[in-house]
Structure 1
Amino acid sequence: MFGLVLAGGEGSRLRPFTFSTPKHLIPLLGRAMIEYPIVHLAEAGVSEVGVVVGYMGHLIQEHLGDGSRLGVRVRYFWQERRLGIAHAISLALPEIKGPFVVYLGDNILAGGIKRHVRAFLEGDFDVYILLARVPDPSRFGVAVLRDGRVVRLVEKPREPVSDLAVVGVYMFRDPEDVARAFSSLKPSWRGEYEVTDLIQWFIDRGRRVGFDFVDGWWKDVGTPEGLLEAVYLLLDHAEARVEGEVRGEVVGRVVVEKGAVVEGRVFGPAYVGPGAYVGRGAVVEHYVSLESGARLASGGASRSLLLNEAEVEVGGLRLVDSVLGRRSVVRSRRDLRGEARLIISDFSRVEL
């Protein structure tokens, strides 16, 4: 079975972070976002993966290489214009010879997709989709069910028709059928070729479109708040592990990677990445991820993400619900108290 990971989008909702890096390379607990889908594919028995790239695609190529580090063989397809998910899928179809699974590169599923891939391959389905109930269906493609069957898909409905979001994982039996379906599509009101329209082609022709509900949580990471929510969910499933140096105090479910130094206090669940540093006067509270080389010299952090080599030295100030970009610097020249929320891009400098 072939795997196809889509990573061509610009990540406009994640600006300013995506001005300097594609969103798929933003690290979450030491692993680039795009690595989660690829690892899930490998766990499901997929050995060959295509990655559709576009915006800053060369950086994704440099990061993933040939895929051997993740246990797969990776090849790349270029989407020069962002014309939708169905268009991205169409670019790889000439190279796909059998059943395949599409996984959006900014989606993360708890528990992976192994069980769902097995159900698709063992069943007699032409298409297989995953569904999840959501409070705001207008942000997603949604499925309408009737008598246990998928009868209609609607992309980002303006009027509510269902609360069942179509998760960013799609499985197809025959690439030639998918090519025929794509050739019949027209751009939507958004100017894109929608994957919901692609799958609707199969529904309208009476093909077997199977579905299942995701196990546990599913996260479509598209905003700074989404990054933080992904950190919370990933930390909820992280196992305590200490491989770095702890001179201070570590309490609860904490990951301290090799090369990290903790001189202050860390309360789990929390992640301290390789080469990261927690100073003697610093406190890392629950649901914080210090990515590789990040430094919290003083102050506190709660429910926050400090990206690679970010530096914080803020005395008695406590950062909450914050995302600090790569190599950003936040310093205070005064003895500040209380809380602050910061969303700052890579290479930024903030003096308080």
Structure 2
Amino acid sequence: MPQKSPIPIVLAGGRGSRLRPLTRSRPKPMVPVAGRPMIEWCLHSLREAGLDRATIVVGHQAEKIQAHLQDGKDIGLELDYVHQQPQLGSAHALSEALEAQGLPSSALVLGADNVIEPALLEDLIATGPDAIGVTKSNIPSRYGVVELDGDVITSLREKPLVEGQALISTGVYLLSRQALDPVTRLVREGTTDLPEVLASILAEGHTIEASLTTGRWHDAVYPWDLVPMTEHLLHLHQPADPDTLDAHPTATHVGQVQFDEGCRLGPQAVVEGPTSLSANTRLGAHAQVSSALLLEGVKIGRGAVVEDSVVGEAATIGADVTIGAAEAEVIAEDGQAHQLPRFGAIVGPGVEIGPGATLEPGTIVGANAEIAAGARLTGRIPDGGWVT
């Protein structure tokens, strides 16, 4: 690592609209995964990579992020904050940080919604002075695709129509003062997203290298991305049962399962990992949950089955409800269709699902929707919707 470490700039100001309905009541970086908000996992990786401070650019629901992280002492980082108002894109967020704090000699720029192994950051810093973390992906059209001449990036194309495996940008950037200098000018000229700004910097003749990472990287673009992210984190961190777990003697849990404080398992309830149960989650007798992320205060009724799904906070899933998993087509918030090899459903915060209902694989239920007993659902149910 260089003698003078780069200054991390963590972009945490966006609305997370593609992660709805899970971001209706909280900013995207504060969505909990495997026992911590996503932004905490990001900051812990910075610390483990040997960095001791970070600037966080906040915007949408900034007060919730700042109230949780405060000065960073509990994480082991010195944190300061820059407010992005209005939220006009990732390059605009970076520009706001640079205008507020001046041009550093080197900056490590990354999103707060990425789960990054420290090895990725270490590889990137070692590559410097200007580099982008890249990795191989089988779904490159979701990301920025990079093209190389040796180790030098020749082009960066955002979300192109590319099939098969390709190298993509992880959205983690090491940028020198020379590369950062044009950012504010380009933003003022109307380019507000960081990949487009970097493409312009490349076109102006600046050299940026690719750092092919040896570390794992996950980002949460859509709600279903939280399921493999949960699996990855639980595999790395091997959760232990908290002292406050209230499990009936006949309840069982197998594999990697994260229980937060105040969870309760009823008689013969079964939880199969990789699964994360956030604080005060309740499973009724004979309920079965596998490969799932349940947020705070979720109640799963007697005999209900939940597979490969994400359930938002304070949702109630009635007795004998079935949320099974299979190959599915899912329609995202932006209207795009996605084919998933195995998926259950997304249940938004505050949803109430009556006894005996069935959610077909690929269903997304909006926040505070009400589903009648015995209903059979597929597709998207809007926020506040009522299904009989």
- Shorter chain as denominator, the TM-score bin is 0.7 to 0.9
Query: How far did residue 162 of structure 1 move?
Result: 8.1
Q: Cα offset for 1:44? A: 2.1
CA root-mean-square deviation: 2.4
1:100-138, Cα deviation, whole Å (9 max, x unpaired) = 101111111234544225404xx5x2x111111112222
Query: What is the distance in 2 between the residues matched to 1:102 and 1:128?
Result: 11
For residue 45 of structure 1, what is the aligned residue in structure 2?
A: 50
Q: Secondary structure at the match of 1:145?
A: strand
The structure-2 alpha-carbon separation of the partners of 1:159 and 1:135, relative to structure 1 and needing over 3 Å to count, comes to closer
In 1, are the aligned partners of 2:145 and 2:158 still within 8 Å (CA)?
yes
TM-score w.r.t. the length of structure 2 is 0.77
Whether 1:258 aligns to 2:243 is yes
1:237 aligns with 2:236: yes
137, 149, 164: which one aligns with 2:167: 164
Change (3 A) 1:90 1:336: closer
| Residue aligning to 1:310 | 298
Residue of structure 2 equivalent to 1:101: 108
1:141 Cα deviation after fit: 1.3
Q: Which amino acid counterpart does residue 211 of structure 1 have in structure 2? A: A
Question: Cα distance, 1:208 vs. partner?
Answer: 3.5
Report the equivalent of 1:329.
316
Structure 2, unpaired ranges of 5+: 1-5, 326-343, 356-388
Tell me, yes or no, if structure 1 residue 88 matches structure 2 residue 93: yes
For residues 64 and 348 of structure 1, what CA distance do their matches in structure 2 show?
A: 28
- Which deviates more, 33-42 or 45-54? 45-54
1:178 to 159, 175, 180: 180
Pick aligned residue for 2:137 from 134, 137, 141: 134
Gap regions ≥5 residues in structure 1: 242-254
1:187–1:194 contact (8 Å) kept in structure 2: no
Deviation track 1:186-211 (CA, whole Å, cap 9, x = no partner) reads: 778xxx52322332344334434222
Secondary structure of 2:47's counterpart equals: helix
How far apart, CA to CA, are the structure 2 residues paired with 1:91 and 1:29? 31
Instruction: State the percentage of identical aligned residues.
Output: 29
Output aligned runs, 1:205-220, within 5 Å: 205-220=204-219
Contact 1:279/1:297 (CA < 8 Å) preserved in 2? yes
User: Which of 106, 116, 122 is matched with 1:115 structurally?
Assistant: 122
Deviations 1:37-96 (A, max 9, x none): 111112222222111111111111111111111111211112223322111111111314
SS in 2 for 1:89: helix
- Change in Cα spacing, 1:145 to 1:338, as seen in structure 2 (3 Å) is closer
CA shift for structure 1 position 274: 2.0
Query: What is the match of residue 249 of structure 1?
Result: none
- Deviation, 1:146, is 1.8
State whether residues 185 and 197 of structure 1, in contact with CA within 8 Å, keep that contact through their aligned partners in structure 2.
no
How many aligned positions are there? 327
C-alpha contact 1:131 1:167 (8 A) present in aligned 2:
yes
SS of 1:34's partner is helix
The answer to whether the 8 Å contact 1:258/1:275 transfers is no
SS at match of 1:207: coil
CA distance in 2, matches of 1:147, 1:205: 19
- For residues 162 and 339 of structure 1, what CA distance do their matches in structure 2 show? 30
Q: Tell me, what secondary structure is at the counterpart of 2:268?
A: strand
Q: Matched residues in 2 for 1:67 and 1:24: separation?
A: 15
| 1:70 and 2:75 matched | yes
Give the secondary structure class of the aligned counterpart of 2:154: strand
Deviation of 1:281 after TM superposition, in Å, equals 2.1
CA distance in 2, matches of 1:224, 1:53: 21
Q: Decide whether aligned partners of structure 1 residues 336 and 324 sit closer, same or farther in structure 2, where only a CA change above 3 A counts.
A: closer
TM score, norm. by length of structure 1: 0.85
